[in-house]
Amino acid sequence: MEKTTEIKTKQDRLYTKPSLWSKIKTSKRIAPYVFVSPFIISFLVLFLYPMIQAFIMSFQSILPGQVTFVGLSNYERLLTPNFYTALQNTTIYVILTVIILVVIPLILATFLNSRLLKFRNLFRASLFLPALTSVIVAGVIFRMIFAESDAAVANATLEFFGFEPLEWRYGSVTAMFLMVTLASWRWMGVNVLYFLAALQNVSEELYEAADIDGATAIQKFFYVTLPSLKPVIIFVSTISIINGFRMFEESFVFWETSSPGNIGLTIVGYIYQEGISQNDLGFGAAIGVVLLLIIFIITILQLKFVGAFKDD
């Protein structure tokens, strides 16, 4: 087999081809590179290239057939109330969703893990069901529940408790409430499952030891359950933060691309508005770079935070 590869005539080269292929097929050294090649190609073309391009575009003004270097002027344009609003809305949204989507699922999972609760599988499945809907479908329902009319479910409930009906989609506080509620409703069950899986790995012995020491249920939660769940809590908050900064659809279903007074404007919504709707790709890319920076800083802080925990 080795000899045939040395022959250089054209015709013989055709013969060497199958042997080259069979060499690749049976080589432990080459095969893994063939296996990972789809990732390498997609990484280069669909990740690295656009990533670099995003930075380059953010310094350009891009018109059809006319690309000019404009220095930092796209970034200067970020110093406007619009971007500030987008940043503020997104940050508030992230903080609220992280708190809600960590604390409540954690409590629910603790109960779901307890033998005191009956029909656990049924409850678990029902809580998970909302995760199967798309944000658009969820938004269709939420718009009907939180409709402006006095008779709609949300306003009727308010009235029952003696409050004034609200115009949900037209106030900044209620607008945030709608987006956070929609996201929390959809994602609650998934985070419950994360915590539940982690809870099932907490050793029974720890609880038995706590029982012997006469710990109450609440003490057990704070001194046994919580510390054991630290890694999964950090994991869930990390995805919640990143998903929060990526938020777009939860706003889109309520107001499409423009909300009254920008009450629903988010960073990604702003990228879409400027980059796609207004076709100002350079400016849109600059917003994206800032988003990347924010996520980068949060990731670094998180790693440091987690690292600090590992030390003790």
Partner 1 sequence: MILRKRKMWSAIITAGFVVITIIALFPIVSLLVASFQPASVLMRDGLTFLINPAELNLDSYVAIFSEEASQYWSWYGNSLAISAILIVLSLFFSSMVGYALSMYNFKGGKLIFVLVLFTLMIPFEILMLPLYQLMNDLNLMNTYMAVILPMIVAPIAVFFFRQYALGLPKDLMESARMDGCSEFGIFFRIMAPLMVPSFAAMAILQGLMSWNNFLWPLVVLRSSDMFTLPVGLATLLTPYGNNYELLFAGSLLTVVPIVILFLFFQRFFISGLTVGGVKG
Report the site for partner 1 in 170-209 (rule: CB under 8 A).
185, 188-190, 193-194, 197-198, 201
Q: Determine contact, residues 264/43, Cβ cutoff 8 Å.
A: no
Degrees, nearest 5: CA angle 251-108-218:
130
**Rounded least distance, CB 8 to partner 1, Å:** 27
Q: Does position 275 bind partner 1 by CB under 8 A? A: yes
We find the least distance from the C-beta atom of residue 209 to partner 1, in angstroms, to be 20
Distance CA(145)–CA(134), nearest Å, equals 17
Tell whether the torsion through CA atoms of 61, 67, 68 and 69 is positive or negative. Answer: positive
- Dihedral sign for Cα 225, 227, 232, 236, please: positive
Out of 4, 7, 19, 33, point to the residue binding partner 1 (CB under 8 A): 33
B/e letters for 27-63, b = 16+ CB within 10 Å, e = fewer, are: eeeeeeeeeeeeeeeeeeeeeeeeeeebeebbbbbbe
Enumerate residues 122-181 that contact partner 1 by CB under 8 A: 122-123, 125-149, 151-153, 156
Contact indicator for 254, 178 with CB cutoff of 8 Å = yes
Could you tell me if 96 and 176 are in contact, meaning their C-beta atoms sit under 8 angstroms apart?
yes
By beta-carbon proximity to partner 1, the closer residue of 12 and 229 is 229
Nearer to partner 1, 7 or 41 (CB): 41
- Contact call for residue 244 and partner 1 (CB under 8 A): no
Residues in 54-113 that interact with partner 1 by CB under 8 A: 54, 57, 108, 111-112
Restricting to residues 34-53, name those near partner 1 by CB under 8 A: 34-36, 38-40, 42-43, 46-47, 49-51, 53
Those residues with Cβ within 8 angstroms of residue 54's Cβ, 6 or more apart along the chain or in another chain: 285, 288, 289, 292
Cβ at position 223, least distance to partner 1 in Å: 20
Region of 4-12, 25-33, 75-83, 94-102 interacting with partner 1 (CB under 8 A): 25-33
Q: Which range binds partner 1 by CB under 8 A, 11-19, 85-93, 202-210, 265-273?
A: 265-273
